[in-house]
Copies of this chain bind each other. A is one copy, B any other.
Amino acid sequence: MAARSETGRAGSGASDVYEVDWREELDGDRLREECGIFGIHNHPDAAAIVALGLHALQHRGQEAAGIVSFDGRVFHSERRMGLVGDSFSDLATIERLKGRAAIGHVRYSTTGETILRNVQPLFAELESGGLAVAHNGNLTNGLLLRRQLVRDGAICQSTSDTEAILHLVARSRHVRMVDRLMDALRQIEGGYALVMLTNKKLIGARDPLGIRPLVLGELDGRYILASESCALDIIGARFVRDIDNGEMVVISDDGVESIRFAKAQPMRPCIFEYIYFARPDSVVNGKNVYAVRKSIGVELAKEAPAGADIVVPVPDSGVPAALGFAQEAGLPFEMGIIRNHYVGRTFIQPTQSVRELGVRMKHSANRAAIEGKRIVLVDDSLVRGTTSMKIVRMMREAGAREVHFRIASPPITHPDFYGIDTPEKEKLLAATHDLEGMRRVIGADSLAFLSIGGLYRAMGEESRNAASPQFTDHCFTGDYPTPLTDLAIASPRQMAILAEAD
């Protein structure tokens, strides 16, 4: 099947390369994205509200943003590369997005080949009317579905899983849109949250395990769907509840209807939302992210104390855990690293070489605060290790006497396939090195990770239930919550490597 790349371009032009290689599509970083979604029903300023909601979700994706509205007769769509604040702050754009219902999407920076046609929400005119879809997550059988669809004569314009969902809905033999959607959802596997807009309804759905988050909110009697509760706060909306795993909610003038499309089972949300992705002020599945991160710091200080003078966070994501660590350890908390906010997140930079430059561009040592000190450095996680290595070196060059590195999560040994961009297993430092090996690579005086048990304790659990884990935690455990269908088909080698690891 076809992977395509299209370079963004100023002026009215489009440049496409139509690649014909299944492998690249899977092995690349390209299809694995973290995104944010938002929708509102029956509000006079629907598009403006969506723009504000997306702005609050901007940490989930900075590459592109889109909004689709429905004005009772016609769907309107605006999709742009870049930040919400840049693309959707002018009145003219918002005014073109007429109507009382709208959904939106922010998209994360993938490997440089994002093309405007992949920017969501996607839209299709089906026989039963228009359907716009915004999607956060990743299907583990998306390629298989696309292959089947093409075999059946479908023409795919994008490389996204989202388009596969649209095709499934378009091809469903059911008459009612809700039945078509159920039909489609039952064919897909993976982790996803969807916000959809039809001629009449705003619809949300969350995968059978609730891997990706989705919440229901309410503003003056109008219902809202959003990836995180912080997107409700920005507009003063009320948090109603998390969407349940395997639940579809259908919002219309008659209110909110809840439909289960998957059999009941315990929720198993992605634990990485707490560690890194979600905004600290969000409440995800009933837990405040900031509080969880501070608890993680407390657990980490208990598990791996360090003889040091000060605690220094790797800003910004390491700050809450560092505060928890400092309070538990009774050490002063100091801003020993200054972050330049005029660049994006390291974790989000697309290529390895840019990542390396990124660190230099993004963090600098606050020499006056750390010179001559023994420091505990707290970061949220350790992926390839390249950033950590540079930060340790930077601390030493700025005069730190000792650098004790503390990671506020367990070692990442397995890649993700549910919407988080992670490198292949071979490039994960913890997958190829033991603790002492990692310490040497990073150059710290000591290195410690939070244990998996500590992580579950910080989450408020007594311990991990190995038979039925409370969270999706495969990055740390290799315990994938769904079959990896595409991977088995398209990359037996990677599949074997993962199997070995177990």
Contact = CB atoms under 8 A, between A and B. Distances in A.
Interface of A: 1-2, 8-20, 52, 55-56, 58-59, 62, 73-85, 87, 93, 96, 116-117, 119, 123-127, 129-130, 150-157, 163, 166-167, 170-172, 230, 233-234, 236, 279-281, 283, 288, 290-291, 316, 319-320, 323, 327, 332-335, 338, 340-343, 360-361, 364-369, 397
A146 B501 CA distance: 50
Contact of A157 (B73, B87, B157, B279): B157
A327 to B, nearest CB: 7
A18 B340 contact: no
Contacts of A76: 16-18
A342 B84 contact: yes
A2 B364 contact: no
Contacts of A119: 14
Question: Which of A9, A320, A332, A369 gathers the greatest number of chain B CB atoms within 10 Å?
Answer: A369
Contacts of A166: 155
Kindly list the 7 A-B residue pairs having the minimum CB-CB distance in the complex, ordered from nearest: A2-B125, A153-B171, A288-B368, A18-B75, A16-B77, A12-B81, A8-B12
A55 B340 contact: yes
A167 B2 CA distance: 16
Contacts of A319: 335
Contact of A125 (B10, B18, B96): B18
Contacts of A334: 323
A327 B332 contact: yes
A315 to B, nearest CB: 9
Contacts of A17: 74-77, 96
B368 A291 contact: yes
Contacts of A367: 233, 281, 288
A338 B282 CA distance: 10
A274 to B, nearest CB: 13
A19 B81 contact: no
Contact of A1 (B125, B234, B291): B125
A87 B340 CA distance: 16
B12 A82 contact: yes
B290 A130 contact: no
Given A81-B12, A233-B365, A338 B279 contact: yes
A12 B230 CA distance: 28
A124 B13 contact: no
Given A155-B167, A366-B280, A368-B291, A18 B74 contact: yes
Contacts of A152: 171
A157 to B, nearest CB: 5
B78 A338 contact: no
Given A13-B81, A234-B364, 8 more contacts: A14-B77, A18-B76, A18-B125, A58-B342, A84-B342, A125-B156, A281-B338, A288-B366
A17 B150 CA distance: 27
B58 A15 contact: no
A226 to B, nearest CB: 13
Contact of A116 (B13, B59, B333): B13
Contact of A12 (B10, B85, B153, B366): B10
Contacts of A84: 342
B18 A123 contact: yes
B55 A361 contact: yes
A326 to B, nearest CB: 9
B8 A9 contact: no
A364 B55 contact: no
B342 A55 contact: yes
A80 B334 CA distance: 36
B157 A170 contact: no
Contact of A83 (B8, B59, B320, B342): B342
A11 B10 contact: yes
A125 B156 CA distance: 7
A343 B85 contact: yes
Given A13-B78, A327-B332, A366-B281, A338 B125 contact: no
Given A77-B18, A290-B366, A323 B340 contact: no
Contacts of A333: 323, 333
A231 B87 CA distance: 30
13 contacts: A1-B125, A9-B12, A12-B82, A13-B79, A18-B76, A18-B123, A20-B129, A55-B361, A85-B361, A125-B155, A234-B360, A288-B369, A327-B332
B365 A13 contact: no
Contacts of A127: 150-151, 153
A374 to B, nearest CB: 18
